Amino acid sequence: MKFSASQIAALLAGTVEGDPNVEVWNVAKIEEGAPGMLSFLANPKYTPYIYTTKSSVVIVNNDFVAKEPVTATLIRVDDAYASFAKLLAFYDAMANQKEGISSLAFVSSTAQCGENLYLGEFAFVGEHVVIGNHVKIYPQVYVGDGCVIGDDTVLYPGVRLYRNTVVGKRCVLHAGAVIGADGFGFAPQPDGHYEKIPQVGNVVIDDDVEVGANTTIDRSTMGSTRVHKGVKLDNLVHLAHNVEVGEHSALAAQVGVSGSTHLGKHCVVGGQSGFVGHLHIADGSKFGGQSGIMGSIKEANQEFMGTPIQPLRQYLVSNARFRHIDEMMRKIEALEQELSELKSKI
């Protein structure tokens, strides 16, 4: 798709300075620009690049003053960064305009499908599924019996929804996400073998949730594993059975949350962090990467790091001291040597 500078300016309510008919068809960093590319300048640190960039069009703030000749066409706006983000969102929406049901897809006769459904090749929709309006289901997606999918939700290739999974409106589930697999429930028996405990619950994902690629959310033993409104899960996150994640929380890649742990609202969890089971985490809790959370957090809006976790300030102090441990050991050894010599003289 090609867009002219004048079309972009109209979308952003900006003004063109240069050739209004120049066309762009892709985006690039201002320092990596090439003909046909669109860039933006918001951080003054990158100002020197506007005089050398090869990009055809650059979005700048209204107060930008050029001190040298600029070859690119400029689009002046109130906020270059926000305008560029708006443009990316528009481009992404255009690129993902998909409609129609492929003849190679399967839809059960008992399924209810809303308007403007896109269903790609080899997608499967099971019995008694309910799909809302403007939903996009990409190739090789499996939607099990009894699932519900809200309006404007996107399921990218290879997503698997086990039976009775509920996904809200405007959600995005990236490739390979598995929602509703069995929770890890096994009862040890006297003879040493493990007896599987049936997992008869489901997973409920509320509106405006994004689930990263190859993330897994297990269905509950009973009731629901719950991901509340606005939650963002990165790639390779694992939520075990009966976990609950509060509204607008964000979990980075490779976070693991053990069964029946409840995270509050607006929690932020760094990558590779792990929670033991049956914890309650207060609203606004923040955990640095590779944190090991082994106990409940009762006080809201606190920051932690380390394994096991410590309050962030305490962790940073301890870590700074740890860097001097070799020096401290040498001093202790010297003191022990002096003490030994003094004892020998007494």
User: For the domain that residue 26 is a member of, what is the CATH number?
Assistant: 3.40.1390.10
Q: Which CATH number is 304's domain given?
A: 2.160.10.10
Place of tokens 């509703």: 180
Same domain (yes/no): 289, 327: no
> Is 271 a residue whose pLDDT tops 90?
yes
Q: What is the pLDDT of residues 198-243, one digit of tens each?
A: 999 999 999 999 999 999 999 999 999 999 999 999 999 999 999 9
Same domain (yes/no): 216, 247: yes
Could you confirm whether 241 is annotated as catalytic? yes
Same domain (yes/no): 62, 129: no
Same domain (yes/no): 296, 250: yes
Q: What is the mean pLDDT of the chain?
A: 95
Same domain (yes/no): 212, 238: yes
Mean pLDDT of 168-193: 96
Question: Do 13 and 86 form a contact (C-beta atoms < 8 A)?
Answer: no
What is the domain range of residue 287?
100-312
Residue that terminates a domain, selected from 47, 79, 95: 95
Q: What is the pLDDT of residues 278-336, one digit of tens each?
A: 999 999 999 999 999 999 999 999 999 999 999 999 988 888 888 888 888 999 998 98
Q: Which residues pair with 16 in a beta bridge?
A: 75
Residue that terminates a domain, selected from 72, 95, 118: 95
Q: Residue 20 and residue 15: Cα distance in Å, rounded?
A: 9
Same domain (yes/no): 11, 127: no
Q: How many domains are there within the chain? A: 3
Q: How far is CA 90 from CA 47, 97, 193, 309, in A?
A: 26, 11, 55, 42
Same domain (yes/no): 238, 320: no
Residue that terminates a domain, selected from 77, 95, 113: 95
Same domain (yes/no): 246, 334: no
Higher pLDDT, 327 or 261: 261
Same domain (yes/no): 253, 142: yes
Same domain (yes/no): 259, 146: yes
Cis peptide before 44 (omega within 30 of 0): no
Q: Residue 204 and residue 146: Cα distance in Å, rounded?
A: 12
Q: Residue 248 and residue 209: Cα distance in Å, rounded?
A: 8
Q: Which of 128, 193, 241, 266 is catalytic?
A: 241
Angle at 274 between CA 271 and CA 279, to 5 degrees: 130
Same domain (yes/no): 287, 202: yes
Q: Residue 314 and residue 310: Cα distance in Å, rounded?
A: 6
Percentage of residues in the chain having pLDDT higher than 70: 100
> Is 140 a residue whose pLDDT tops 80?
yes
Q: Residue 5 and residue 292: Cα distance in Å, rounded?
A: 51
Question: Global pTM?
Answer: 0.83
**Beta strands at 73-77 and 130-131: parallel, antiparallel or unpaired:** unpaired
Q: Residue 260 and residue 253: Cα distance in Å, rounded?
A: 20
Same domain (yes/no): 138, 213: yes
Predicted local confidence at residue 223, as pLDDT: 95
